[in-house]
Amino acid sequence: MMNDIDEIVNKFQEQGYKITPQRRGIFEILVGNESHPKAEDIYDALKDKMPDVSLATVYNTLNTLKELGMVNVLSIIEDNSIRYDPTTEVHDHLFCLGCNRIFDVERDANERDFPQKEIPGFQLIDRTQVTYYGYCPDCQKMRKADK
């Protein structure tokens, strides 16, 4: 979970990583970010104010954050993308097939009705995440307007 910059900086420093302005810029983009950005999105957001940042730096920093358990990585088959999620608590996702945006779903883990009878003997762990597919309200409006 990435709540504030200082927490991330401390964790990086504890592990012996240097805090460069580029890394700090990446942290700033991720804190409180609910858009599930791709590495390219982070790079695009950063490169205007930091022309010396490279996509490789963004990837390296994201990998380190992943190793430290501060971001979750989502692999999206529909648009063949890897997304980064600074909200690491278990939660479900809605994927919009129209605009490829991902939205968080808050749902109590106890309320999940997993079809246990259909996979007898399979042991679930508490990191189960579900992705639902559909169209967001914006895309539904556009689809109606197209008709």
Residues in contact with Zn ion by CB under 5 A are 85, 87, 96, 98-99, 104, 136, 139
Token code pair at residue 88: 């690491």
For residue 38, how many other CB atoms are within 10 A of its CB? 18
Instruction: State which residue, 99 or 109, has the beta carbon closest to Zn ion.
Output: 99
| Residue 29: CB minimum distance to Zn ion, A | 15
The smaller minimum CB distance to Zn ion, of residues 1 and 119, is found at: 1
Token digits of residue 102 = 């991902």
Q: How far lies 32's CA from each of 27, 94, 102, 143, in Å? A: 10, 18, 15, 30
Report the residue number, 31 or 136, with the smaller CB distance to Zn ion: 136
**Min separation Cβ 46 and Zn ion, Å:** 21
Cα(140)–Cα(125) distance, integer angstroms = 35
Least distance in angstroms from the C-beta of 70 to Zn ion: 14
